[in-house]
Amino acid sequence: MSDIAGTKPALRWVVHASVLFLVVLWVVPTLGLLISSFRTADQISSSGWWRSLFPSEQNLTLRSAAPETQVLQNGMYVIEGKLFDENQKATISRWGISSRDVTAFVPDEVAELRRGGTITVSADGDYRMENAEEFTGKRGVRIFVTAELPSEFTFDNYHKVLLDQSSTDSMGKAFFNTLTVTIPATIIPILVAAFAAYALAWMDFPGRALLIAAVVGLLVVPLQLALIPLLKFHLSIGIGKGYLGVWLAHTGFGMPLAIYLLRNYMAGLPRDLIENARVDGATEFQIFTKLILPLSFPALASFAIFQFLWTWNDLLVAKVFLIDATGQTTVMTNRIVELLGTRGGNWEILATAAFVSIFVPLVVFFAMQKYLVRGLLAGSVK
Amino acid sequence: MTPALQGLLTIVIGVSGCVGYFYFSNQFLDKVLFPPRGPNAGRNINRANVIRPWLFLFPALAALGLYLAYPVVETMRLSLTERVPGGGYKWVGLDNYIQMAAEPKFWEAMRNNMFWLIVVPAMSTAFGLLVAQLTDRIRWGNFAKSLIFMPMAISFVGASVIWKLVYDARPAEQDQIGILNALYIFFGGTDPQTWLTIPFWNSFFLMIVLVWIQTGFAMVILSAALRGIPEETIEAAILDGANPFQIFFKIKVPQIKTTILVVWTTITITVLKVFDIVFAMTNGQWETQVLANYMYDKLFRANDWGVGSASAMIIMLLVAPILVWNVRNARKEME
């Protein structure tokens, strides 16, 4: 049934165009940061990232080689060189030798130098200075060029942010810290919640409905309320700030969603299956481990992705329960906030650091989107 | 011990601890406490079955109780007390709330939060519904949805960096590197704007970040709901000569009203807890304070647990109606 598209071609085009527009709107911000992370600091601050996708015309101030490199050729003093690196494929359109008129000459034109001699610059950046007398002075002459430069990208930022141990911008350690927080905080709540979910779905006992209602209620309790009481509790039992504390906290905070998702899924499993197993003499423990757990895999995967994304992306819980004054246990989100404070203008570091932290969740997201969607559909309270 | 090793050890201990607990407690129940043998076999089986659910539930209930239920009560208590120098607490009644109500920053946070509560759920749901409807019938719809859904995977902090680049401003004579200012100049603006420091409107620029993240969520849920609408109702409408807009607003939307409400309330909860975005982008400066960040300021910068807890209770209070509504719906569904 094609109610909107199909019958009216004009409307169909509007639909396609609007979707395209929305998609572009949604993707562009991320794309900007991704592209910026492959540009040098100079490139980022001199032109918008969208320009880097195409060869761009830029005004550059360059300098010829110093007079000490001059050689005597056929009675003329000559300085020769290249304005660009071998691998830089720039094309010069105009050039000049005075800051007042930077576009005075076209390539291969000959210009008179103010201090005697001539200079000519070709389109590919080769230049040649000639003088009957010796060139003097310490520095070469300034050459202003208007050139079309191809887009250029570099992995240097990633190298610096990930591998440079001495660098204060290093994210390597924070990356492993985040991983250390995330994995136990994802696995342990699943196991604990699965047993409880089974009891709530398939065992009969007084107060069951009340407990389910309580879980639904706790689902929306803001974790902000838990910060001080739990920090006090952790300090009083000697856990203090550290990994154990943050694992426990994430386990607790993830529990309502875990129980809710898993219970809903398990309650939907066919009754006959479980009854038959009971009749055949299987114990509840056997039914759970041999039957329910394998069958509940989709729900387990859904929750695992939620919990993984949530713990990986978390800032607040880590700040309160993990990161102490030494800063040894900092996680990536916290590092990025620190960088925003101290390196607010250094977009090459910021963009790269942010992308290092975004990369893993994005991979998980695209690889397991199916389970994420399924979990969302099951998890939103109906 | 390196944290990585500690983490691995925790996984092993945690997992084997859980498995061990469940296995051995069940064994204990069946073999030692109430063995299904001897003269009382029948009674023992029944007794074991009364206790077993609680064995399964115990660790989860302990975690829920300690990490979510107890803190609500404790925060309430803390909000009515004050720390006295040298340790201990003093009962101060509603003093913390009165002190908080006298602070302009608190009212600024309240005002901003109200805007957040209106704008973000409304825009996310509207965009989500729009995308869900538009992508429903086109061939590359799933691809488009996947891209709009993507920000869900990005942390609030990462999103903050992404959008800070969008909002970046350079002096007028330089090339703009923030795309918003570049567009603003392109369409005739003269002075580049520092978007995040314009009072009142800057809050909306922060809200856009959350709308950008939450739209994907709304879209996924609403898209499923749209597909669940019985075809006959739409066919009947077409036969009656309804145009596409009438079909959408008069036939489809009324049928997914409940789902829209669910999406709306879920995003509302997220909004109330929003902390990272404000913390990372403006830290509440330039009149962008929100409750969650205000609370963080009080708790961990001013070290004022009393007022901090009081503001946490305000968040709880705002969540409470949704909590009650959810619980009621869940109970209705189970009956």
* % of chain A residues with pLDDT over 70: 93
Alpha helices by DSSP H, chain B: 3-27, 41-64, 70-79, 95-101, 104-135, 141-149, 156-167, 179-186, 201-227, 231-239, 244-246, 253-255, 257-272, 276-281, 291-296, 305-334
A43 part of a folded domain: yes
- What number is the average pLDDT over the span A315-332? 82
A145 part of a folded domain: yes
Do A22 and A79 belong to one domain? no
A278 part of a folded domain: yes
Q: Which residue, among A354, A151, A31, A340, has the nearest Cα to B166 in the 3D structure? A: A31
Q: Which residue, among A151, A166, A134, A124, has the nearest Cα to A52 in the 3D structure? A: A151
Distance CA B164, CA B5 (A): 37
**Interface contact B280-A30, CB threshold 8 A:** no
Residue A298, pLDDT above cutoff 80: yes
Which DSSP letter does residue B229 get? S
- What number is the average pLDDT over the span A241-248? 84
**Interface contact B3-A243, CB threshold 8 A:** yes
Which one of A128, A149, A170 terminates a domain?
A149
Nearest residue in chain A measured CA to CA from B154: A358
Do A239 and A349 belong to one domain? yes
Q: In this structure, what token pair is assigned to residue B67?
A: 């990490």
Q: What is the pLDDT of residue A107?
A: 84
Q: In this structure, what token pair is assigned to residue A44?
A: 């980022």
Q: What is the pLDDT of residue B49?
A: 78
**Interface contact A228-B235, CB threshold 8 A:** no
Nearest-neighbour CA in chain B from A87: distance (Å): 26
Question: What's the first-to-final CA gap in chain B, in angstroms?
Answer: 52
Q: What is the pLDDT of residue A4?
A: 47
Buried b (16+ CB within 10 A) or exposed e, A217-251: bbbbbbbbbbbbbbbebbeeeebebbbbbbbbbbb
- Where chain B has pLDDT below 50, the residues are none
Q: Which residue, among A207, A81, A325, has the nearest Cα to B300 in the 3D structure? A: A325
Q: What is the pLDDT of residue B121?
A: 92
Question: What's the first-to-final CA gap in chain A, in angstroms?
Answer: 28
Do A82 and A185 belong to one domain? no
Q: For the purposes of burial, counting CB atoms within 10 Å of the CB of B103, is it exposed (0-12), middle (13-18) or buried (19 or more)?
A: middle
Residue A379: band (very low, low, confident or very high) from pLDDT cuts 50, 70, 90: low
Q: What is the pLDDT of residue A5?
A: 43
A166 vs A17, residue with greater confidence: A17
Which DSSP letter does residue B192 get? P
Do A67 and A195 belong to one domain? no
A251 part of a folded domain: yes
Residue A2, pLDDT above cutoff 50: no
- Rounded alpha-carbon distances, angstroms, from residue B295 to A62, B273, B292, B302: 54, 11, 5, 10
Distance CA B284, CA B290 (A): 7
Tell me what the pLDDT averaged over chain A comes to: 82
Residue window 198-237, chain B: list those with CB within 8 Å of chain A.
Answer: 212, 215, 217, 220-221, 224, 231, 234-235
Domains within chain B, CATH numbers bracketed: 3-79 (no CATH), 98-334 (1.10.3720.10)
Name the pTM for this structure: 0.82
Do A38 and A62 belong to one domain? no
Distance CA B72, CA B60 (A): 17
Report the CATH number at residue A176. Answer: 1.10.3720.10
Longest dimension (CA), chain A: 110
- What number is the average pLDDT over the span A171-186? 84
Nearest-neighbour CA in chain A from B15: distance (Å): 6
Do A189 and A70 belong to one domain? no
A155 part of a folded domain: no
A4 part of a folded domain: no
B182 and A CB contact within 8 Å: yes
**Interface contact A27-B326, CB threshold 8 A:** no
Which residue's entry shows tokens 């240097």?
A156
**Interface contact A216-B163, CB threshold 8 A:** no
**Interface contact B137-A200, CB threshold 8 A:** no
Which one of A149, A176, A203 terminates a domain?
A149
Do A100 and A173 belong to one domain? no
Distance CA A301, CA A113 (A): 73
A178 part of a folded domain: yes
Do A225 and A78 belong to one domain? no
Distance CA A117, CA A119 (A): 7
Q: What is the pLDDT of residue A36?
A: 84
Q: What is the pLDDT of residue B215?
A: 92
A154 part of a folded domain: no
Do A82 and A24 belong to one domain? no
The neighbouring-strand residues paired with B91 are B81
pLDDT single digits (tens) A132-164: 888 877 787 888 888 777 777 778 778 777 776
Q: Which residue, among A252, A255, A375, A361, has the nearest Cα to A303 in the 3D structure? A: A375
Nearest-neighbour CA in chain A from B85: distance (Å): 16
Residue A3: band (very low, low, confident or very high) from pLDDT cuts 50, 70, 90: very low
User: Among partner residues B63, B152, B166, which is closest to A252 by beta-carbon distance?
Assistant: B63
Interface with chain B: mutation pick from A2, A3, A223, A241, highest number of B CBs within 10 Å: A3
Do A257 and A339 belong to one domain? yes
pLDDT single digits (tens) B1-44: 566 677 678 778 878 888 888 888 888 887 777 777 777 777 77
Nearest-neighbour CA in chain B from A361: distance (Å): 6
Nearest-neighbour CA in chain B from A96: distance (Å): 22
Interface with chain B: mutation pick from A169, A224, A377, highest number of B CBs within 10 Å: A224
Q: What is the pLDDT of residue B236?
A: 87
Q: What single-letter amino acid sits at B235?
A: E
Do A20 and A140 belong to one domain? no
Q: What is the pLDDT of residue A110?
A: 84
Do A81 and A43 belong to one domain? no
B30 and A CB contact within 8 Å: yes
**Ordered DSSP codes for B295-334:** HHIIIIIS--HHHHHHHHHHHHHHHHHHHHHHHHHHHHHH
Distance CA A221, CA A136 (A): 78
Which DSSP letter does residue B196 get? G
Q: What is the pLDDT of residue A6?
A: 46
Which one of A149, A179, A194 terminates a domain?
A149
**Interface contact A228-B313, CB threshold 8 A:** no
Q: For the purposes of burial, counting CB atoms within 10 Å of the CB of B335, is it exposed (0-12), middle (13-18) or buried (19 or more)?
A: exposed
pLDDT single digits (tens) A29-49: 888 888 888 887 777 777 777
Q: Which residue, among B68, B308, B155, B272, has the nearest Cα to A248 in the 3D structure? A: B68
3-state secondary structure of B4: helix
Distance CA A305, CA A364 (A): 8
- Non-local (6+) Cβ contacts of B151 within 8 A are A26, A30, B159, B212, B213, B215, B216
- Rounded alpha-carbon distances, angstroms, from residue A179 to A74, A144, A378, B4: 68, 50, 27, 8
Work out how many domains chain A is built from and give that number: 3
Which structural domain range is residue A258 located in? 160-379
- What number is the average pLDDT over the span A238-247? 82
Q: What ipTM was predicted for this assembly?
A: 0.84
